[in-house]
Amino acid sequence: MKPLRILDVTLRDGGYRNNFDFSKECAVRIVQGLAATGVDFVEIGYCNGSFVRRPEHGLTSRVDDGYIAALLCAAGASARPGAAPKGGAATKLCVMVHPLNVTRQDLFALAAQGIDVIRVCLRPDQLDAGLATIADARAAGMAVSANVTRATELPRSTIIRMAVLAEEAGADLICIADSNGAMIPADVERLIGDLALSVAVPLGFHAHNNLSLALSNAIAASAAGAEYIDTAINGMGKGAGNLHLAMFIAYLDRIGRNHTYDLVKALELSSFAAREVPENAKPHPLIDVMTGAYNLSIDAVAKVAASQPARRARPEARPEVRFEALKELHEQRDSERRDGVGLVAPRPAVSASPARSESAAAPA
């Protein structure tokens, strides 16, 4: 069995919880803790903003020279002996980019500053730009992860085509992102299995926990051949969050899988993050239960909210109004859905079996 690699996304995906407003000191402590845990890769933020750039977004939405230098030092000084990634280097740093937000010069600058891995968001409507970004990052000397986002909104044939093209452009890794948190283990196993037959590069999986299936889906991804698994400290991430780092390591311990991660260090880091970043310990947003059940993106939620003036004026008033609106949106979309979307179809409802007669039920 191939070794698993953990890639932690707290400073990037977790930024959706706190407007990316991590202090440099807190980010240093987080990277130190992740390196001491033995985590292989740490995603430290976006270059030039998330998909929608906002002025209120903080440090980890726009990684700068001083930030990168501080985290490189934290990663190298804190790596646990014997737990470093393949090749013997300290914990490696990654930056995520949206292709339309960065230039070739930006990528070469990130390489010069010591970034090891670029993660490129891939979507069908910007595929050419994404493939060009992959090629540019490789030309700059960095490894590249091609991240297919909102995978559950795409036909499997489209996902496979995007993966093949990304590999041809130079991607070293194809990562599937369950951005809507709508996948179940059967979906993950089938999609990762199909991709393993279609590309030669390693596969990764990025879970969201809308249906409390992040761990189950990561297990399914690994069983189907994924070698890279995304995690976050305490599961801190957009909406319902991501796979809980310590929980995943605990699972690996429970099944006796050979690994080099330190569960105690991961739990100590979880405790630190819960104290220092209040948003790290927010409860599971109820609205995300529906986005997972109905495969709806955060854009769909925003549109529903914008269509309800009373909700905009008083966000705390009658949340059930928005729940009902999302259900109606789902029913409308479901009736229009094309075949081939990368989800296992719900099973038909099973009617209750007729009650057996008393004589049939009695033991012979």
Give the CATH number of the domain where residue 81 resides: 3.20.20.70
The pLDDT confidence band at residue 144, using thresholds 50, 70 and 90, is very high
Residue 263, domain member (yes or no): yes
Residues 290-320 as b or e (16 or more Cβ within 10 Å = b):
bbbbbbbbbebbeebeeeeeebeeeeeeeee
Looking at the structure, do residues 100 and 211 belong to the same domain, yes or no?
Answer: yes
The pLDDT confidence band at residue 352, using thresholds 50, 70 and 90, is very low
Residue 159, domain extent: 5-281
Looking at the structure, do residues 221 and 159 belong to the same domain, yes or no?
Answer: yes
Residue 364, domain member (yes or no): no
Looking at the structure, do residues 163 and 294 belong to the same domain, yes or no?
Answer: no
Residue 152, domain member (yes or no): yes
Looking at the structure, do residues 269 and 315 belong to the same domain, yes or no?
Answer: no
Q: Find the mean pLDDT for residues 154-159.
A: 96
Looking at the structure, do residues 68 and 141 belong to the same domain, yes or no?
Answer: yes
pTM given for the model? 0.86
Contacts of 240 (CB under 8 A, 6+ apart): 181, 208, 209, 210, 284, 285, 288, 289, 292
Task: Kindly state the tokens that stand for 179.
Answer: 């951005």
Looking at the structure, do residues 271 and 295 belong to the same domain, yes or no?
Answer: no
Q: What is the pLDDT of residues 262-300, one digit of tens each?
A: 999 999 999 999 999 888 777 777 888 888 988 988 788
Looking at the structure, do residues 230 and 311 belong to the same domain, yes or no?
Answer: no
Domain count, the chain: 2
Residue 345, domain member (yes or no): no
pLDDT at site 78: 60
